Amino acid sequence: MNDDGYFDARIAARYDESDAENFDPSVVDPIVDFLVENAGSGRTLELGIGTGRIALPLAQRGVPVHGVELSKAMVARLRAKPGGEDLGVTIGDFATTTVDGSFSLAYLVYNTIMNLTTQAAQVACFRNVAAHLEPGGRFVIEVMIPALRRLPPGETFHVFDGQEDRWGIDEYDVANQGLVSHHVEAVDGTIERSSVPFRYVWPAELDLMAQLAGMTLRERWGGWRREPFTSDSRQHVSVWEKPER
Ligand SMILES: C[S@@+](CC[C@H](N)C(=O)[O-])C[C@H]1O[C@@H](n2cnc3c(N)ncnc32)[C@H](O)[C@@H]1O
């Protein structure tokens, strides 16, 4: 790992292409709609803005977006896109990096809270967000439900993607609430492999982190189209709110 974290130049170069289905309007539009509805009239802050999958279409809807991002390589990809030069981006760790001004909405999508691999860092992230929100401001997280119910007793691997040219396998470390996401992909006749460590986190634990940061749960859904959150949900979209005063 270098200064860009796990999203270095090699990963950044292929991020959009290898994740093309998540750039499809059928995936992006409901996310952007949800964020527009929660943004109010203030500025929004994306933690882990990446190559702008969500930030660029959100900005195109007239919502001011500022990003925090560890990877200069991912930001270089963002900057190369139409509108990418217009967004403010602060390079740094979103658990601790501060940005001038306040925001009506902060958001952290696509399991990225789990990139913080300790509980302390995840708590710090909630506190950092709360410090940036206006009174009444909201924090939206999209994150998976850990797939422990799909792990047979004694097993540690869960296959989440299995295609002709691409495999994804999560390796669980239950004692430490850790998981390593292994990606194996055939690219131009060679096999590319990457393994990224995460700390998985439960909805109730996130609510406690929000409470420690002075925020309360406002809504929890099973997806961006406001599907109900149930025992069978594989992910959740949660909204916490900072008190008005
Ligand atoms: C899965 S990508 C998501 C990018 C973008 N939000 C999207 O939806 O396509 C996660 C991004 O978060 C960034 N990231 C991970 N940990 C970070 C941290 N602690 N501070 C800042 N950025 C981080 C990575 O560099 C990467 O660009």
pTM over 0.85: yes
pLDDT digits (tens, 9 = 90+) for 160-170: 999 988 999 99
Contact of 201 with 121, CB cutoff 8 Å: no
- AA identity, residue 204: A
Mean pLDDT for 187-211 is 95
Contact of 141 with 237, CB cutoff 8 Å: yes
Choice from 24, 32, 70, 118 to test ligand 1 binding pocket (greatest atom count within 8 A of CB): 70
Eight-state DSSP code of residue 191: E
Cα 104 from Cα 45, distance rounded (Å): 8
Give yes or no for residue 32 CB within 6 A of ligand 1: no
112 alpha carbon to ligand 1 midpoint, in Å? Answer: 6
pLDDT digits (tens, 9 = 90+) for 61-90: 999 999 999 999 999 999 999 999 999 999
pLDDT digits (tens, 9 = 90+) for 211-227: 999 999 999 999 999 99
Output the CA–CA distances (angstroms, integers) from residue 209 to 29, 47, 125, 129, in the order listed: 29, 17, 9, 11
Contact of 65 with 105, CB cutoff 8 Å: no
What pLDDT score does 1 carry? 67
What pLDDT score does 187 carry? 87
Give yes or no for residue 142 CB within 6 A of ligand 1: no
Q: Which atom of ligand 1 is nearest to the CA of 74?
A: 27
pLDDT digits (tens, 9 = 90+) for 89-100: 999 999 999 999
pLDDT digits (tens, 9 = 90+) for 32-52: 999 999 999 999 999 999 999
What pLDDT score does 18 carry? 86
